[in-house]
Amino acid sequence: MCGRYAMETLEAQFEAEAQALIQPRFNIAPTTAVPVVRNGPSGRVIVLQTWGLIPSWSRDPALSARLANARAETAADKPSFRGPFRHTRCLIPADGFYEWRAGTPKQPYFIHGAQGEPLALAGLWDRWQGPEGARESCTILTTTPNALMAPIHDRMPVILDRPGQDLWLAAGTATEVLQALLRPCPETWLRLHPVDPRVGKVANDASSLIASYAPGGSPLTPIGPQA
């Protein structure tokens, strides 16, 4: 996933109060901290949480790396996710995300909002109490791909529009309404382009990673609507 943030943009976009300093990031990987929009005591807040859910009942925080994503089709029933699905849903803002198209070599793509706007990814969060204190963590819900994403991968994040965001965060939203939100977004919401394979190494973290890239200076075959 990729997250590149400006504090004012996030606060205005998600009508939330930032309670953490959000640094620009271009190659966020599971087990690192990501900005999360969740409900606070007096409104929405933006906090940093570990990407990779640690269930509150878990004895092993190392489980986090394996729970970076939750399948939308089963999240309401899986033991690790069903509590957060009912009580602690969140939004995970991102300027875009990466996915790799199969081939030799595999080619990474950057998928982002059609108008350059931050994406609101549907997420769940939980609070785990360890010997050194509480730790909040989150997971990103994934669904089947839309027409733009299907040639690249068989899953994509659940992306919500403004009405969907409000329903997802509201405490009283019925389960059947929540389930109806967990579908692939329209392909017109997104654009994509190939990016430098250096993004495959987590240590690389620079704005150049999200720029359009063509090996040897020759353009790659585009996928889906680009205009």
Q: What are phi and psi of 226, to 5 degrees?
A: -115, -15
Nearest of 154, 155, 126 to residue 142 by alpha carbon? 155
Asked if 177 contacts 170 with a C-beta cutoff of 8 angstroms, the reply is: no
Amino acid at 208: S
Residues 6+ away with beta carbon under 8 Å from 134? 127, 128
Token pair recorded at residue 70: 């939750």
From 90, 99, 136, 138, active-site residue: 99
Asked if 50 contacts 67 with a C-beta cutoff of 8 angstroms, the reply is: no
Query: DSSP labels for 159-221?
Result: B--HHHHHHHH-TT--HHHHHHH-SPPPGGGEEEEE--GGGGSTT---GGGGS---GGGPPPP
> Is 90 among the residues known to form the active site?
no
Question: What Rg do the C-alpha atoms of the chain give, in angstroms?
Answer: 17
From 2, 90, 138, 185, active-site residue: 2
> Is 2 among the residues known to form the active site?
yes
Measured from the Cβ of residue 172, the count of other Cβ atoms closer than 10 Å reads: 6
Supply the residues annotated as catalytic.
2, 99
